[in-house]
Amino acid sequence: MKKNKTLIFMFMAPAVITLLLMYVYPVLRTVAMSFFHVESVTAGLDDWSFNGLANYFKIMHNASFVTSMKNFLAIWIVGGVITLALSLLIAVILTSGIRFQGFFRAAIYLPNVISAVALATMWVQYIFNYDYGLLNQLVTALGFDKIRWLGTDAKLWAMIAAFIYGSIGYYMLIYISGIEGIPQDLYEAATIDGAKKTTQFFRITLPLLKGIIKTTITFWTINAATFYLWSKLFSPVQTEGSTIVPVVYLYDTVFGGKGVVTTDAGAGAAVGVVLTIIIIIVYVLTDKLLKSNDLEY
């Protein structure tokens, strides 16, 4: 087909402007800002003063940031292992010829399409509620004392549990599409050879899902690093140490919040850069460690 230069230009221009305005310029400016002392996010370049890695040292020595990174690690590792394992388990169940699998898939994915704010509100105001909450009703029905699910000690784990419950559906769908891509005759052959279901899972399904597992680890890392909404809703008015995450710290540092005397946009930018670097490192590492198999099937 003939190239129509005017058409190409007219059709591409809005998208290219979007990329430059919304992504390229802001990312570059954020990275640059992390090396400058910038108090207000609206400060012009004249008010920026270069201070090398000082922003990075500042956040590394900030108690709130360190706490937020610990919470991030809990969400990322503990939450990640549970979420990915459970969603893989459910994906295997729902591809094993169970009845009503269409309904189960749709129902388990449901939390992903409804407003996470509404979802988190249900957890905080009902499920975890001390007075009339679902969990405490179960606990008292079993004859135990009520538990303060949202007390300082348990809050982080309560939040992670709620987040996991809502996240599983998405990863389940990714695993299902991976499993459905594995040819059925591999399983038939294995069954004829007398391999048990569990053996089949570890010898066929898991190795062939390597590429998919890699993808889900990357997605989970992005979700954990940019975790914000649930933390905000579990500590809505004031940021609390028990649920603080890096993005909450970033928000408070840049736009003002509890215990922030002067805003520091440069430090906020440094937090963003640190999180992005973590995501990139995890991506590169999983890519190296879990080499996509070149198996033809």
Query: Could you say which residues in the range 192-231 bind other proteins, by CB under 8 A?
Result: 215, 219, 222, 225-226, 228-229
Amino acid identity, position 103: F
Closest by CA to 36, choosing from 248, 246, 265, is 265
Q: What is the x/- site pattern for other proteins, positions 45-84, by CB under 8 A? A: ----------------------------------------
Q: How far apart are CA 27 and CA 29, in angstroms?
A: 5
C-alpha torsion angle, residues 170, 287, 292, 82 (rounded to 10)? -40
Confirm if 122 and 134 have CB atoms less than 8 A apart. Answer: no
State the nearest-atom distance from the C-beta of 5 to other proteins, in Å.
8
State the nearest-atom distance from the C-beta of 201 to other proteins, in Å.
13
Q: Among residues 156 and 224, whose Cβ is nearest to other proteins?
A: 224
Q: Which of 24-32, 68-76, 144-152, 183-191 is the region at the interface with other proteins (rule: CB under 8 A)? A: 24-32
State the nearest-atom distance from the C-beta of 27 to other proteins, in Å.
5
Q: Which of 61-69, 150-158, 248-256, 285-293 is the region at the interface with other proteins (rule: CB under 8 A)? A: 248-256
Confirm if 204 and 186 have CB atoms less than 8 A apart. Answer: yes
Query: Could you say which residues in the range 142-201 bind other proteins, by CB under 8 A?
Result: 165, 168, 170, 173-174, 176-177
Place of tokens 């989970």: 220
Confirm if 120 and 234 have CB atoms less than 8 A apart. Answer: yes
Q: Which of 52-60, 68-76, 98-106, 285-293 is the region at the interface with other proteins (rule: CB under 8 A)? A: 98-106
Residue 254's CB: how many other CB atoms inside 10 A? Answer: 21
